[in-house]
């Protein structure tokens, strides 16, 4: 199978140096392997994603010297695909409605005897309570039941969950890494108001687009555990993973949109060339 990797930003702001490093890492790996580089726009959060940022992303990546396959998959154009996957899981009894808010879950962490782990697995409501909440029009999320997932897979498959790490996790994890989906609890896979959640959409698209290698930062290493569970439940192939360290600024803090890190557009406006930025990031050429 041809080496295929991707860069999948969310259009919630302008790209910064950290994004440039991650995109160049994936793009360079694809070029070195004679493979495919896929750009995907992950815009499933309608409250934060903006079309103008998508335009900016394409402009910034082109300025860096990257090229990619077209058309670019925009997740908001394919919500029906994700709804079908959610229905597959729901029909198999792997999901349950959860009407608890994020605040409810956070409050429960302090009350749970075993802390965050227990609170992250709230479990389904009683039939009467669920009926009452549905009748009231209350918002809910579809959560993946780890108990039902374990029953469905059986102990041998559950205990055999793993992934291949060709890079290195934040604690030096490499090689065959044993899966630990329980660490994330009963994750949300869809919401009544915003539709699909990240874990389901990303695993669906990686399978659909033939992604053989997922190259991304350490911040998403732990997400791999639950994503491998979803891939196994859905019969989707398991990519090979290469996690890389997160780029940090002179102050030692990693670049992040929420911290208003200086953007590629601002660097460009200040006279920095793409060649100079690539060299600074350790990529001497984009050709």
pLDDT of residue 284: 77
pLDDT for residue 259 is more than 70: no
More confident residue, 47 or 61: 61
Average pLDDT over residues 114-131: 74
pLDDT of residue 193: 65
pLDDT for residue 169 is more than 80: yes
Q: How confident is the model at residue 120 (pLDDT cuts 50, 70, 90)?
A: confident
Q: How far is CA 139 from the centre of its chain?
A: 23
Computed over every residue of the chain, the mean pLDDT equals 91
How far is Cα 244 from Cα 170, in angstroms, rounded to an integer? 8
Q: How confident is the model at residue 25 (pLDDT cuts 50, 70, 90)?
A: very high
Q: What is the percent of the chain with per-residue pLDDT over 90, rounded to a whole number?
A: 79
Asked if 278 and 286 touch (Cβ cutoff 8 Å), the reply is yes
Q: What is the pLDDT of residues 266-283, one digit of tens each?
A: 999 999 999 999 999 999
CB atoms within 10 A of CB 34: 8
Q: Is the pTM of this model over 0.85?
A: yes
Q: What is the pLDDT of residues 94-118, one digit of tens each?
A: 999 999 877 776 665 554 443 444 4
Q: What is the pLDDT of residues 62-80, one digit of tens each?
A: 999 999 999 999 999 999 9
Asked if 226 and 94 touch (Cβ cutoff 8 Å), the reply is no
Nearest to 142 by CA among 199, 103, 71, 77: 199
Among 17-26, 112-121, 151-160, 214-223, whose mean pLDDT is lowest?
112-121
pLDDT for residue 252 is more than 70: no
Q: 79-91 and 198-208 are packed helices; what angle lies between their axes, rounded to 10 degrees? A: 110
pLDDT for residue 239 is more than 70: yes
pLDDT of residue 81: 97
Average pLDDT over residues 152-170: 97
């Amino acid at each position: 199978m041809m080496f295929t990797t991707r860069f999948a930003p969310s259009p919630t702001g302008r790209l910064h140096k950290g994004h440039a490093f991650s995109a160049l890492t994936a793009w360079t790996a694809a070029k070195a392997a004679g493979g495919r580089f896929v750009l995907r726009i992950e815009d499933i959060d309608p409250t934060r994603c903006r079309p103008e940022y998508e335009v900016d992303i394409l402009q910034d990546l082109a300025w860096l010297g990257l090229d990619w396959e077209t058309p670019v998959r925009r997740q908001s154009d394919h919500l029906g695909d994700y709804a079908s996957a959610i229905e597959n899981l729901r029909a198999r009894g792997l999901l349950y409605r959860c009407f608890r808010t994020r605040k409810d879950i956070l409050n429960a962490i302090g009350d749970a005897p075993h802390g965050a782990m227990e609170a992250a697995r709230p479990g389904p409501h009683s039939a009467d309570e669920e009926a009452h909440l549905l009748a009231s029009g209350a918002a809910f999320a579809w959560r993946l039941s780890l108990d039902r997932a374990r029953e469905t897979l059986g102990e041998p498959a559950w205990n055999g969950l793993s992934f291949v790490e060709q890079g290195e996790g934040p604690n030096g994890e490499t090689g065959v890494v044993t899966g630990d989906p329980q660490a994330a609890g009963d994750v949300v896979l869809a919401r009544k108001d915003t539709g699909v959640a990240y874990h389901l959409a990303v695993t669906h698209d990686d399978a659909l687009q033939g992604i053989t290698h997922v190259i991304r930062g350490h911040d998403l290493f732990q997400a791999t555990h639950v994503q491998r569970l979803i891939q196994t439940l859905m019969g989707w192939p398991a990519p090979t993973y290469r996690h890389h360290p997160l780029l940090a600024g002179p102050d030692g803090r990693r670049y992040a949109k929420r911290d208003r890190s200086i953007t590629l557009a601002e660097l460009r406006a200040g006279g920095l060339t793409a060649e100079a930025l690539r060299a600074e990031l350790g990529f001497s050429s984009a050709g």
